[in-house]
């Protein structure tokens, strides 16, 4: 699906829950349920999963931006939808779809940047923690508030506990209180906090710099980063050495090193 990525102010019956716009090797995915603060309904998660699957196979896409339409980035799961179908099978379907979605982002060859304004709560905070990079406005707020409504944020905990220090994650999970952009930056939940007027430019600038790199090298590096993090130190070094050896045999490595030595711009493989 392809559409302009400008913020949408309200839902209409014809609106897609997800918008995609491609330009200069960057795919921008806009969560488009602004009236629901972009809550992750089953429909929105399915649409996002489908686009990620398409992007995985699209060599023209070298970086992805994930953003939200309207006043917020993402308010988490659609609680109204979940309460309308309170049976176990429906709950399993929601959390299974969400887990698959987060794994798809992690395993996507292309780096994904979260562009956050407003709130990112519960599964919305999970999205932020899962993305490879994250930039927010100074006014953004983050929370895993499930404990306050009797539903501990156990699946958001998986991504959060891997993105920030243990005690910072537990404080968010146990207290359920929002943190501001400055605290999110301090604990490493986001990479940068900028004025709202600079958000889009900052994110697109980062995406453009990523898109200028060798796509196959980015893919091998992103996969290696995730895999080595789950290994012991000795095993991690052995794995990383094998990855670097494999990378060194790639045409892009030869081209990049030659370009550096010859003081010219490299010409990467598509």
**Residue 269: what pLDDT?**
85
**CB environment 23-41: b (16+ within 10 A), e (fewer):** eebbbbbbbbbbebbbbbb
Q: Collect the ranges in the chain with pLDDT lower than 50.
A: 1-14
CB 212 within 8 A of CB 256: no
The tens digit of pLDDT for each residue in 121-158 reads: 999 999 999 999 999 999 999 999 999 999 999 999 99
Q: Give CA separation, 162 vs 128, 167, 171, 180, 193, in Å.
A: 12, 12, 14, 19, 20
- What residue has token string 């400055």? 182
**Residue 11: what pLDDT?**
41
Write down the architecture of domain 18-212 according to CATH.
Alpha-Beta Complex (3.90)
* CATH code for the part of the protein at 215-262: 1.10.12.10
**Beta strands 18-23; 26-31: pairing state:** antiparallel
Which sequence spans correspond to the domains of the chain? 18-212, 215-262
**Residue 2: what pLDDT?**
37
**Residue 215: what pLDDT?**
93
**Residue 114: what pLDDT?**
98
Q: Side-chain half-sphere of 265: how many Cα atoms within 13 Å?
A: 3
Strand order across the 119-121 sheet = 119-121, 141-143, 179-180
């Amino acid at each position: 699906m392809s559409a302009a990525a400008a913020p949408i102010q309200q839902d209409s019956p014809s609106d897609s829950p997800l918008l995609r716009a491609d330009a200069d090797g960057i795919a921008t995915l806009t969560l488009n349920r602004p009236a629901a603060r972009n809550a992750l309904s089953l429909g929105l998660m399915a649409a996002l999963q489908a686009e990620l699957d398409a992007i995985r196979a699209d060599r023209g896409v070298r970086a992805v931006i994930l953003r939200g339409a309207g006043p917020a980035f993402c308010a988490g799961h659609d609680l109204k939808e979940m309460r309308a179908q309170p049976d176990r099978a429906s709950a399993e379907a929601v959390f299974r779809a969400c887990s698959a979605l987060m794994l798809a982002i992690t395993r996507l060859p292309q780096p994904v940047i979260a562009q956050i304004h407003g709130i990112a709560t519960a599964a919305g905070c999970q999205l932020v923690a899962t993305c490879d990079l994250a930039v927010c406005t100074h006014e953004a707020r983050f929370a895993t508030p499930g404990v306050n409504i009797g539903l501990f944020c156990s699946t958001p905990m998986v991504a959060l506990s891997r993105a920030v220090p243990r005690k910072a994650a537990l404080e968010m999970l146990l207290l359920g209180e929002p943190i501001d952009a400055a605290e999110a930056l301090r604990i490493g939940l986001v990479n940068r906090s900028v004025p709202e007027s600079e958000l889009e430019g900052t994110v697109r600038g980062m995406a453009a710099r990523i898109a200028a790199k060798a796509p196959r090298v980015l893919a091998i590096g992103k996969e290696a980063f995730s895999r080595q993090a789950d290994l012991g130190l000795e095993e991690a070094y052995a794995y990383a050495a094998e990855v670097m050896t494999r990378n060194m045999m790639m045409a892009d490595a030869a081209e990049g090193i030659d370009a550096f030595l010859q003081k010219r711009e490299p010409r990467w493989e598509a």
